[in-house]
Amino acid sequence: MLNKIGDDTGVSKADLFISDLHLCQDRPHITQAFLAFLKSTATQARALYILGDLFEYWAGDDDMASHQPIVEGLRQLADGGVKLYLMHGNRDFLIGHEFCAAAKLTLLADPCLINLHGQTTLISHGDALCSDDVDYQAFRLQVREKKWQNDFLQQPLATRKAQITSMRARSEQEKSHKASAIMDVNPLALKQLLQEQHYPKLFIHGHTHRPQRQELSLDGHAITRWVLGDWYEQGGYLSCDALGCKSHTLK
């Protein structure tokens, strides 16, 4: 799906990309680092793209009160003129329009093509590319269905949170038995996506927590793939302007 976002007029401020912060109450230092980022570095940007898994989990927009400082921080950044975009991750795919309206974010489909300073750029969370993880892909299909989501969201918040806790425990346990390669991007799935999307110049995604820059050559097209890192040990972001992209770690 082609989204015509971004333009090339005006001053060349950078667009920033982050993902996999996994914000939750168990890791308050990451939330503090993110709030500080929103008040400093991010204010200088043209746009901030959050490519999924901002939260460790999202039980529904009626749970927004537990995340008020984050909503507030995002809204203040948007009020300062920075465009905010959010894509669902595999943890926070239940983020809905209420949260996006409160935080002044635009929700993007996954994957999505944007115009990044003149370069056609594909952005995605990245979990759909981990096609070797057959169990996960079956789960993903199920929970991305509107009916499953409506049924889930109809339950009381406490019930949903309890279910998420048990789902997370199960997934952690399963992950400990899975080979590490299974949870990485499948090269064929990557190739197919880039072909379907007509060979974008850049591809930016997260999810695997294996940050890297990769120069690909596919059917005669040069494509740069950036994988964003997580925020567990150290926060970081990718910044892209008219001169190119650069990855940064936060102090």
CB 57 within 8 A of CB 92: yes
The stretches of 104-186 forming alpha helices (DSSP H) are: 134-143, 146-153, 157-177
By the 8 A CB rule, do 110 and 125 touch? yes
Report d(CA 152, CA 146) in Å as an integer. 10
Stretch that binds Mn ion, among 26-34, 86-94, 213-221, 224-232 (CB under 5 A): 86-94
**What's the rounded Cα separation, in Å, for the pair 14 and 102?**
24
Q: How far is the CB of 91 from Mn ion (least distance, A)?
A: 6
The answer to whether the CB of 80 falls within 8 A of the CB of 50 is no
Question: CA 45, CA 195: separation in Å to the nearest integer?
Answer: 31
| Beta carbon nearer to Mn ion, 31 or 90 | 90
87: β partners: 51, 108
Site for Mn ion contains 53 (CB under 5 A) = yes
Nearer to Mn ion, 78 or 189 (CB): 189
Chain-centre distance of CA 230, in angstroms?
Answer: 10
Number of residues that bind Mn ion (CB under 5 A): 4
Nearer to Mn ion, 89 or 236 (CB): 89
Which residue lies nearer to Mn ion by CB, 46 or 207?
207
Footprint on residues 179-218 left by Mn ion (CB under 5 A)? 207
Residue 99 vs 136, nearer CB to Mn ion: 136
117 in contact with Mn ion (CB under 5 A): no
* CB of 199 closer than 8 Å to CB of 222: no
At 47, which amino acid appears?
A: A
Shortest Cβ 184–Mn ion spacing (Å): 12
Please say which residue, 6 or 133, places its beta carbon nearer to Mn ion.
133
Shortest Cβ distance from residue 154 to Mn ion (Å)?
Answer: 25
In the complex, the smallest distance separating the C-beta of residue 209 from Mn ion, rounded to whole angstroms, is: 8
Position 229: which residue type?
G
- Say which amino acid occupies 64: M
Return the residue nearest Mn ion (CB atom). 207
* Residue choice 14, 47, 90, 112 for contact with Mn ion (CB under 5 A): 90
Region of 87-95, 156-164, 170-178, 238-246 interacting with Mn ion (CB under 5 A): 87-95
What are the residues whose beta carbons fall under 8 Å from the beta carbon of 12, sequence distance 6 or more?
117, 241, 242
The answer to whether residue 89 forms part of the interface with Mn ion (CB under 5 A) is yes
Where does this chain touch Mn ion (CB under 5 A) — which range of 75-83, 88-96, 148-156, 164-172? 88-96
> Using CB under 5 A as the criterion, which residues of the chain lie in contact with Mn ion when the complex forms?
53, 89-90, 207
